[in-house]
């Protein structure tokens, strides 16, 4: 869908945002669960939740915390509902989803690791779901050249990148659609829209944001630090 089709923010507070934060952060290293690693003096999870809470549609935030850190996470994000996460992201999302009351119609699934995601992106995804779409994901164009290789890393072909997109979070769904998708889930998926896609629903895109990068490797933490320095207004 086109960004011009997204209705203006309504401030209806009809949205729950799930923030899986129970990962180990093995690719970042450092021994601390990634969501608790600091960026500019604050844990990634605090950055992520503060920005989500600034979106006028958001009624509640549910954090899936590392099981050993539930009390510490409650103290860090006192406005959020905190549940113990699971062994995979999908299990953590399912645990958070079960804490969303039936009065909430729209659920967004985010990542604590996308700590700098702007409130406007949360609002755009929420508005697109409210307009009646069954699944909405932020998307960015692919900037690099993409090639398909064989098992020996020899190039087989250059792939046309025009129709390819990098997909971010938050990903938004009607609550019932996400519940149905998770009830049907068998193997582990990295992305909730993939589960909803399997149910036969059309997934729609809205324009993503460079600020919604997923902090995965040490380089990403450096980039996020630079983004905060270059754009103090995104704090
Ligand atoms: N996540 C989670 N529960 C898990 C695994 C991941 O809640 N069992 C969360 C992470 O905390 C993160 C998001 O899912 O906010 C995206 O996952 P990823 O970037 O892969 O984070 P980690 O799994 O922590 O990192 P790594 O894969 O490098 O260990
Ligand atoms: Mg992971």
**230 CB-near residues (< 8 Å, 6+ apart):** none
Please report the pLDDT score of residue 186 as a whole number: 78
**96 CB-near residues (< 8 Å, 6+ apart):** 18, 19, 20, 62, 63, 64, 83, 85
Q: How much distance in Å is there from the Cα of 8 to the middle of ligand 1?
A: 32
Measured by CA distance, the residue closest to atom 10 of ligand 1 is: 23
- Ligand found nearest the CA of 43: 1
Low-confidence ranges of the chain (pLDDT < 70): 1-10, 190, 235
Closest to 20 in 3D by CA, of 82, 111, 91: 111
Ligand 1: does its nearest atom lie under 6 Å from the Cβ of 32?
no
Please report the pLDDT score of residue 5 as a whole number: 54
pLDDT tens, position by position, 143-194: 999 999 999 999 999 999 999 999 999 999 999 999 999 998 877 776 899 9
Stated pTM of the model? 0.94
Closest to 140 in 3D by CA, of 196, 202, 211: 211
The minimum-distance atom of ligand 1 relative to the CA of 23 is 24
Ligand 1: does its nearest atom lie under 6 Å from the Cβ of 88?
yes
Cβ-based burial of 84 (10 A; exposed 0-12, middle 13-18, buried ≥19): middle
Ligand 1: does its nearest atom lie under 6 Å from the Cβ of 208?
no
Please report the pLDDT score of residue 190 as a whole number: 66
Q: What is the token pair recorded at 14? A: 């009809």
| Residue whose CB lies within 8 A of the most ligand 1 atoms, among 18, 27, 32, 34, for a mutation test | 34
Angstrom distance (rounded) from CA 54 to CA 214: 19
The minimum-distance atom of ligand 1 relative to the CA of 114 is 15
Please report the pLDDT score of residue 3 as a whole number: 47
The minimum-distance atom of ligand 1 relative to the CA of 26 is 29
Angstrom distance (rounded) from CA 129 to CA 69: 32
- Ligand found nearest the CA of 23: 1
Mean pLDDT estimate for the chain? 93
């Amino acid at each position: 869908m086109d960004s011009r089709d997204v209705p203006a923010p309504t401030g209806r507070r009809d949205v729950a945002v799930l923030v899986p934060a129970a990962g180990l952060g093995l690719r970042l290293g450092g021994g601390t669960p990634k969501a608790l690693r600091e960026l500019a003096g604050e844990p990634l999870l605090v950055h992520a939740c503060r920005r989500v809470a600034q979106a006028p549609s958001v009624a509640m935030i549910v954090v899936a915390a590392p099981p050993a850190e539930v009390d510490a996470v409650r103290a860090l994000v006192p406005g959020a509902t905190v549940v113990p996460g699971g062994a995979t992201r999908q299990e953590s999302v399912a645990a958070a989803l079960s804490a969303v009351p039936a009065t909430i119609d729209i659920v967004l699934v985010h990542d604590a690791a996308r700590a700098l995601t702007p409130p406007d992106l949360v609002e755009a995804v929420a508005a697109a779901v409210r307009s009646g779409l069954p699944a909405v994901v932020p998307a960015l164009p692919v900037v690099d050249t993409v090639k398909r290789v064989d098992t020996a890393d020899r190039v087989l072909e250059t792939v046309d990148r025009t129709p390819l997109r990098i997909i971010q979070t938050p990903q938004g769904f009607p609550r019932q659609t996400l519940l149905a998708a998770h009830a049907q889930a068998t193997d582990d998926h990295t992305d909730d829209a993939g589960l909803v896609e399997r149910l036969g629903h059309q997934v729609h895109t809205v324009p993503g944001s460079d600020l919604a990068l997923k902090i995965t490797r040490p380089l990403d933490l450096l980039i996020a630090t630079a983004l905060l320095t270059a754009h103090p207004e995104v704090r």
